[in-house]
Every structure is written in structure tokens, then in C-alpha cells.
Amino acid sequence: MFFASDNSSGVPEQVLAALARANDGFAPGYGADAIMDRVRARIRDIFEAPEAAVHLVATGTAANALALATFCPPWGAVYCHRIAHIEEDECGAPEFYTGGSKLVLIDGADGRMDPAALADKLAAAARVGVHNVQKGMVSLTNLTEAGARYSVSEIKALCAIARDHGLPVHLDGARFTNALVAEGCTPAEMTWRAGVDVVSFGGTKNGLMGVEAVVIFDPAKAWEFELRRKRGGHLFSKHRYLSAQMEGWLENDLWLDLARHANAMAARLEAGLSRTPGARLMHPRGGNMVFAEWPRVGHHAAQEAGARYYFWPFDQSLDGPGEAPLSARLVASWSTTEDHVDRFLDLIPGR
């Protein structure tokens, strides 16, 4: 009953087998391995982007921050949602790697940026020239930090607003695959065909030990990204172990199967919660995250039985009236089982 995060799950056997194969013998370092050649070709094929630059890093923070730095100057603003991961969970890494760009926060329900709010903010930007932070780029998060999903049409609308102002668009896709399979579209439709310039194609939250791909649809930006990755300390020497994880994950569409399973377990959680007396769903479920509240007595019962999840927001206490509701985030992973979900649902009424 571990619903704290999908980055707490283990690694599928297929990925471990790919790592074991890569461990045999010798291979060039720094991304010159033959596995990376195959991974690059596979990701280009998946995104229907034969000229795209594909680079691997070990963390989502590095993927996001280096991608932003490649497209946004130090004097630029990155327009993102108020609860975007780059705002709330990366300890200033975007500002650090860009050399000082400013995150400008945009409102919108369920973690999705409101198009009118973005348009208004951009229209009011840089009115006194050199004295202002300049317009830099737009960053979207899919799935959002509230568990919702941007549809392809919503991404297109936001990208069109960015284009009207000459701005590139970044997509933070830590849970990209969960959003993709739920939306029922292709990677190309959710990214470059909608107007996205660079995507952090996340693997760690979908079963990998630790690897993310940065996919840049303008190959002219590739060299700058490589320099920033090296200068920022994120170019792996034994790169084949990143490449091998990614290859094992992409082989036979494992990446899609893992995300579909996680989404299905979240749907089971959602359905059970919707039938639980005193429980209330807080945001629409876009993939594998469920946000809900239920009485404190149910939280006591679940946590005493070993369930693990985060209160959301964090600053809530188990101390207090049993009937008072507490809100929480529940995340299903590729290794969540129906039994995990059903045992949890049996506990939260607090009987």
C-alpha cells in the first residue's frame, strides 16, 4: 500500500536485464556507446522527428533545468503554472542553470495554465524595455502537479499564445507517458505538432532506475545543450548504463504498458474513493495520481496498517477530530497491484 510516489517503485525485470547485458565488456563513454545510437533512433521514431536531438540525463531536475537554460536567456522569464514542479520542487535549479531567469507564475484550475491568464501576463510583460525581465519561454507540466492532464487541444492553444509572442515552449514530461496513454494520442501530437520545442521525456517515474531523455525538436540547439550538460556536471562517463535503461524500457513498448497499468490502478483507487462515505475527489484524474480527502479517522486506520502517502498540502496533522477531513495525494506505479488498492480502500472508512 505504497502510494507516496511512483518514483518509489522498483525497476522492471526487462530493464534490469538490459543493464546486465550492457555490463558485459567495454563500451565508449560519454554517450558514444552503440546502445545510445539505438536509443536515439528509437526515440526519434517514437516522436516522428528524424532530426530531433536526443540527450540523456539521470534526473528530472537536470532535464528540466538544462532544457530551460538552452532556450531561455538569463534576463528572460519562464512562464509556468503557480504549482509547476519547476516552481515548487526544484530548489531554484531553473534559475541557477539559466543564470538568473525569473519564473513568472500563472494561475489555472487543477495545475493547468489558464490561456487567458497567460495571454494577459505576456501582454503586460516588458513594458519599460531594458528595466524589465524580458519574455523568455513557456513551460507546461503534463501530467500537472495536481494530477490533471492537458489535452492536445489545450497544449495547442497555449503554444499558439506563446508563438504570438515569439516564445518557445518546454514540456515537463516527468509523467509524460501516463498523460500520453490516457489522452490516446501519439508523442508527436502531444509535443512538436502542438507547438512544443523541447520535452523532458520522463522515465524514472515510470519504472526506470534513473534516466530522463531531453528531446529537442530543433537540432540547431543540440550543441548548446551538450555544452550545458557537461558544464553542469550531468554528462555521465559510463553513459551506457543510462542508455541501457532507456533501451530496455522502450523495447516492445514496455514504457506504454507500465504507464497503462499505473493509470488503471489509479482509476481503481478513484472509483473506490468515489464510493467511500465521507471521501471527496479534489481534482480530475489525468493519469496515475489521485487527490482526495476523507475523514481523519480513516487516515489513522490506513497509516497504522502501513499505508504510505503524502498529505496534500503537507502541513496537516493526524491529531484532531476524527470526523474532520484531511486531503492527500495518492500515486499508483507500474508495480501497484489490485490487492494494494483494495486493501487500502477497505481501511479508509476507519471502521
pLDDT at 351: 54
Category of 133 on φ-ψ map: left (φ > 0), alpha (ψ -120 to 50) or beta: beta
CATH architecture of 14-252: 3-Layer(aba) Sandwich (3.40)
Write the pLDDT tens digit of every residue in 243-284. 999 999 999 999 999 999 999 999 999 999 999 999 999 999
β-bridge partners, 292: 281, 328
Write the pLDDT tens digit of every residue in 208-257. 999 999 999 999 999 999 999 999 999 999 999 999 999 999 999 999 99
Range(s) for CATH 3.90.1150.10 in the chain? 255-347
Helix (H), strand (E), coil (C) string for 217-241? CCHHHHHHHHHHHHHCCCCCCCCHH
Superfamily for 255-347? Aspartate Aminotransferase, domain 1 (3.90.1150.10)
pLDDT at 114: 98
176 pLDDT higher than 60: yes
Range(s) for CATH 3.40.640.10 in the chain? 14-252
Contact 236, 242 (CB under 8 A): yes
User: Using CA atoms, how far apart are residues 349 and 277, in angstroms rounded to an integer?
Assistant: 7
115 pLDDT higher than 90: yes
Mean pLDDT of 280-303: 97
127 — pLDDT class (breaks 50, 70, 90): confident
The sign one gets for the Cα dihedral 306, 312, 314, 315 is negative
What DSSP letter does each residue of 151-172 carry, written as one string?
-HHHHHHHHHHHHHTT--EEEE
pLDDT at 53: 98
Give the gyration radius of the chain's Cα atoms: 21
pLDDT at 179: 98
126 — pLDDT class (breaks 50, 70, 90): confident
350 pLDDT higher than 80: no
Write the pLDDT tens digit of every residue in 50-67. 999 999 999 999 999 999
Share of the chain above pLDDT 70, in %: 99
